[in-house]
Amino acid sequence: MKASLLLCCAAFGASAFAQPGLTIYNGRFAVVRDSVPLELKEGENIVRYFGATSSLDPSTVILRDPSGKVQLSIREQNYQNDPVNQLTLLDRYEGQTLSFLVRDQKGERLTEGKVIRSGYVPGGAPLDPVVEVEGKIMFELPGKPLFPAVKDDSVLLKPLLNWKIQSSGPASLEAELAYLTSGLEWSASYNLVLPQEGELADMNGWVTIQNRSGKQFENAQIKLMAGDVRRIERRPQPVHQKAMMMRAAAMASDAEVEEKTFDDYHLYTIQRPATLRDQETKQIEFTRASAVPTKRVYTFDPAPGLHFFGQTVLDRDWNAGIPALRKIATALEFTNSEAARLGVPLPGGNVRVYRKDGAQLEFVGEDSIEHTPRNEVVRLNLGNAFDLTGDRKRTDFSVDQTRRSMEERFEIRLNNRGNKPAEIRVVEHLVRAANWSLSDKSHEFRKLDSNTIEFNVLVAPERDAVVTYTVRYTW
């Protein structure tokens, strides 16, 4: 189954006029799109937009006419991000007298107190506030502070984008706002369920979206970009920088999830608008397939750390690779193809594998996959087999310095104490010299690379199997 703003001193709030859009990338950033209605008069216009994210990158902001009919001449842009809270607002009233709402056994009452110290420390842990009440000093707030009403923009409740736009004449348009922001990320995860008997698996994939941007997106059209999109690292901005400015002459610029190729990446579009609240984690299923053919793979690699680095054989440890590991790794393989009831690009993520035990599911392993295109083989390493072990020993070794040659002979014993036959891949690393040949081999082998070979051995239940070979090196 294939898976399927203020103009002339009037302000606009975020997402008040059109459906916002989000494209979230693997690299923990996103493109945010919104619309900004503009009623421009001739001359300079002040346009203000409340409700951008608190982690917006001001250098990436684009405000344009999507129809291309109006070229917006932006003379100045300011981004202010210092949303107020009780501590920072208290800091603004240091040295002044405030009213405090006191609740105690007598009920509610008001008391006056002079704020000697707010306790706010930019970039550090807050201190105890100091308040003078009736001629006495308190190292705490006497009650809930009551602040005067906000009369201007010196107090921000939301991040603010502020533009000065020069217009040659009156114009009315629905401008598009776009910018890059951090604080949004997504990841993929998968559940693979095997039946009690057999290897035909059911699989479903989920996308997990996290919003830590400081903004809520109402009924947003959400897209997810899979791929390694490069961004230049930027130095982090000071935490308490209250405004950033950028000047320019002009700026121009039925499945739940549908997938398509986009440039060199893959784009997944969530079909229904979704509300993404700040500090929320949302999960959406994006693929489902049943009866996916899988194959159990056992691998015995007794000396996985051996590699050929090009040194001469005389520089190498004669005892390299001895003693060896005894565990046999177990893995699950399937092909991401339409024939296997998949055939969709799979974003990288964790895959959890379960097997049915009657009506229950038991967890049997977990692995992560990279971004996987169509028709690629997926291999999940699940751990080590309990009933399968291996033993490798060298049975002969000789060196002929005159003929510049060396011979080694190995015996590899595979033990199957289970009740089912097991096909085991035995991996051997021939690393003593670049030139080698095999003789007296008990099984046929496959060459994986210039210094690695593999034997495929079928071991019957409650039986052992033995692989022997002799390798001759020359240099």
Count of residues in the chain:
475
pLDDT at 16 (0 to 100) = 40
CB 76 within 8 A of CB 245: yes
Q: Mean pLDDT throughout 151-170?
A: 78
- Whether 142 is in a domain gets the answer yes
pLDDT at 118 (0 to 100) = 92
Question: What percent of the chain shows pLDDT beyond 70?
Answer: 82
- Whether 30 is in a domain gets the answer no
Q: Which domain holds residue 139?
A: 86-146
Per-residue pLDDT at 440 exceeds 70: yes
- Whether 102 is in a domain gets the answer yes
- Whether 246 is in a domain gets the answer no
Assign 68 a pLDDT band (cuts: 50, 70, 90). Answer: confident
pLDDT averaged over the chain? 84
Assign 122 a pLDDT band (cuts: 50, 70, 90). Answer: confident
> At a CB cut-off of 8 Å and minimum separation 6, what does 189 contact?
205, 206, 208, 349, 350, 351, 352
Q: Mean pLDDT throughout 304-312?
A: 69
- Whether 445 is in a domain gets the answer yes
pLDDT at 4 (0 to 100) = 37
Per-residue pLDDT at 235 exceeds 60: no
pLDDT at 236 (0 to 100) = 46
- Whether 411 is in a domain gets the answer yes
Among the candidates 146, 168, 186, a domain finishes at: 146
CB 426 within 8 A of CB 467: yes
Among the candidates 98, 127, 146, a domain finishes at: 146
- Whether 191 is in a domain gets the answer no
- Whether 1 is in a domain gets the answer no
Return the CATH number at 460.
2.60.40.290
Q: Is the pTM of this model over 0.75?
A: no
Among the candidates 98, 121, 146, a domain finishes at: 146
Q: How far apart are CA 52 and CA 213, in angstroms?
A: 9
For residue 182, the tally of other CB atoms under 10 A from its CB is 17
For residue 466, the tally of other CB atoms under 10 A from its CB is 12
Strands of 280-293's sheet in order across: 280-293, 200-211, 184-194, 349-357, 360-369
Lowest-confidence pick of 13-17, 321-325, 326-330, 336-340: 13-17
Q: How far apart are CA 273 and CA 16, in angstroms?
A: 15
pLDDT at 420 (0 to 100) = 92
Q: Mean pLDDT throughout 311-330?
A: 70
